[in-house]
Amino acid sequence: MKPKLIIILFAIGGLINSPQIYAQQYNQELIDSLIKNSTQTQVAKASKFLISGFTTFNGKFSNNQSTFSDVGFTPILLWKPHEKILVEVEMETAIMGNATNIELGYADASFFVNKYLTIRAGKFLAPFGIFQDRLHPSWINKLPTVPLANGEDELAFGPVSEIGFDFRGGAQIGASKINYSFFVSNNAALITDPAIPSKQGTLSYGNVDVQSKKLSYGGRVGLLPIENSSLEIGFSYRYGNVGDTSYNYKSVKAAMYAVDFSYINPIDIIKGTLDIKAQWNKANIDNASYLDPGDPTGSTWYTFDNKRTSFFSQAAYRPTMSQSKFLKKTELVFRYAGFNPPTGAKDLQEIRQYTYGINYWFNWRTAFKAAYQSEKNNNAIFIQIAVGF
Amino acid sequence: MKRNILIIVFAIIITMGLVFASCVSSKVTDKSGSQLWAQNCMRCHNSPPSSAFTNTQWNIISSHMRQRAMLTETESKKILEFLQTGD
């Protein structure tokens, strides 16, 4: 329920505000003394607020469809009220049909407790794999589309965001590094509605109205074994109940797994930077009975072995060491993604997706991207202008 | 099962990697801010030049990226210093 979300946000705001009020009283004295000393510029430096974010404009062209779609504006507010506290809020606004949709992407406060521990509270991007957590903003994603079943499209099944607490940090072990992020969060909710058969047995995340006895938990551990940090391998896990306590589905549980891989390095012999990213996901959801969408009387039930996997692997090359200013800003990208549905699920089939892209980077976070994407009976050209600000 | 073997092989490679890497001497503490910037800030997105933001903005961004990228405190401090004095 929305009101609960607002209460949580207020509570977080309250937590952060109390030292702020204190600081304001204290600041008043400081300000007076500063004015006396006519060094007012110091005051402006003490207020730490930043508006960041990105805008996206997409076009899709295929044999039977040409459209400019997905106009999005995503402001991010960053506020640092204290040396050890950071608040981040992302508002996703997008045009859907002819209406404007606003969604709270994330809203959380981070407390930098010590060298090795940062605690986040609120709604945060799920530390599960790398796509959602690190690569989804359009100015970061190297292709105009999201990898099949890895992002937020209709086949996706991994967590996008969580509501709860997250404990994260990094450390060095010799010349290697390790990082971790463990969370407790609200349960995901099992989707059972026969209106969208392909969604039956999948999960929705980041809910404030899920009522259950126990919370979900999970996290990711990342290893950077090579001294120059060029390689990272991550392992993620998430476990919890997915049914409502008041429901038939209360004992249904879901376990999710992901393995991710990142390698990025400027390489002399190829005169450029090679960037490889990959992620593999698996969801094992307990078997449950769903209303058969094919039966108009709504009295037939069916079940299936609810195990599904998806993956993407992507390679990008940018001739960063080239003499030509134009080539330096050009990037070639290839991505291979796939989805393996549970056997017996309705309206789902195995899919393989190939995407070939070319980008031109106007600066470090403004790009024009074009790509050809091929799926069985579903080939299209996509363009995108992504601007980070 | 094939998958289990794959996971075991993976685990062995990582452990070996960790052991070998620890023998190399260049630890985070030995590296300069610019080196750490070059090695870390391009891992997820193109790395921003120091001229992209003011010093106050870098201070906020540095906390954001320390949280997001789970950087160590030393890395984060050294990179911030580099970005703030870089231009």
Determine the pLDDT at residue A7. Answer: 47
Q: Would an 8 Å CB–CB cutoff place A172 in contact with chain B? A: yes
- Say yes or no: B9 and B37 in one domain: no
Determine the pLDDT at residue A59. Answer: 94
CB B69 within 8 A of CB B40: yes
d(CA A31, CA A42): 9
- Say yes or no: B40 and B76 in one domain: yes
Determine the pLDDT at residue A284. Answer: 95
Residue A175 DSSP label = T
- Say yes or no: B1 and B23 in one domain: yes
- Say yes or no: B26 and B46 in one domain: no
Determine the pLDDT at residue A17. Answer: 41
Determine the pLDDT at residue A251. Answer: 86
- Say yes or no: B3 and B38 in one domain: no
- Say yes or no: B24 and B37 in one domain: no
d(CA B81, CA B32): 10
A369-A350-A136 Cα angle (round to 5): 35
Å between A93 CA and nearest CA of chain B:
22
- Inter-chain contact A50–B57, Cβ cutoff 8 Å? yes
Please identify which residue in the block is written with the tokens 């299936």: A304
Q: How confident is the model at residue B30 (pLDDT cuts 50, 70, 90)?
A: confident
What range defines the domain where residue B16 resides?
A: 1-30
CB neighbour burial string for B50-75, b if at least 16 within 10 angstroms, e if fewer: bebbeebbbbbbbbbbbbbbbbbbbb
Determine the pLDDT at residue A11. Answer: 44
- Inter-chain contact B22–A45, Cβ cutoff 8 Å? no
- Say yes or no: B7 and B48 in one domain: no
- Say yes or no: B41 and B15 in one domain: no
Q: How is residue A228 written in tokens? A: 């120059």
d(CA A103, CA A170): 30
Distance from chain centroid for Cα A294: 34
Q: Please compute the mean of the pLDDT values over residues B25-38 and round it to a whole number.
A: 82
Provide the residue-wise pLDDT of chain A in tens; the chain has 389 residues. Answer: 445 544 444 444 444 444 444 444 456 665 555 555 544 444 445 568 999 999 999 999 998 889 887 789 999 999 999 999 999 999 999 887 788 999 999 999 999 999 999 999 999 999 999 999 999 999 999 999 999 988 877 788 889 999 999 999 999 998 899 999 999 999 888 888 888 888 888 888 877 777 677 899 999 999 999 999 999 999 999 999 887 766 678 888 999 999 999 999 999 999 999 999 999 999 999 998 888 888 888 788 888 899 999 999 999 999 999 999 999 999 999 999 999 999 988 888 999 999 999 999 999 999 999 999 999 888 999 999 999 99
Name every residue in B having a CB less than 8 A away from some CB of A: 10, 14, 17-18, 20-28, 39-40, 42-49, 52, 56-57, 59-61, 63-64, 66-75
- Say yes or no: B24 and B42 in one domain: no
* Domain range annotation of chain A: 1-30, 73-310
- Please give the ipTM for the structure prediction: 0.84
Determine the pLDDT at residue B26. Answer: 61
Q: How many A/B residue pairs have CB atoms within 8 Å? A: 115
CB A258 within 8 A of CB A235: yes
How many domains is chain B built from? 2
| Chain A hits for B46, Cβ within 8 Å | 361, 364-365
- Say yes or no: B65 and B24 in one domain: no
Q: Which of A117-131, B10-24, B45-59, B60-74 has the lowest mean pLDDT?
A: B10-24
Residue A132 DSSP label = I
Determine the pLDDT at residue A247. Answer: 66
- Say yes or no: B40 and B10 in one domain: no
CB B26 within 8 A of CB A175: yes
| Chain B hits for A229, Cβ within 8 Å | 39-40, 43
d(CA A4, CA A7): 5
Going by C-alpha positions, the residue among A286, A310, A112 that lies closest to residue A201 is A286
Helix, strand or coil for residue B60? helix
Å between B74 CA and nearest CA of chain A:
8
d(CA A204, CA A216): 13
Determine the pLDDT at residue B13. Answer: 64
Determine the pLDDT at residue A131. Answer: 96
- Say yes or no: B49 and B15 in one domain: no
- Inter-chain contact A80–B18, Cβ cutoff 8 Å? no
Q: Would an 8 Å CB–CB cutoff place A261 in contact with chain B? A: no
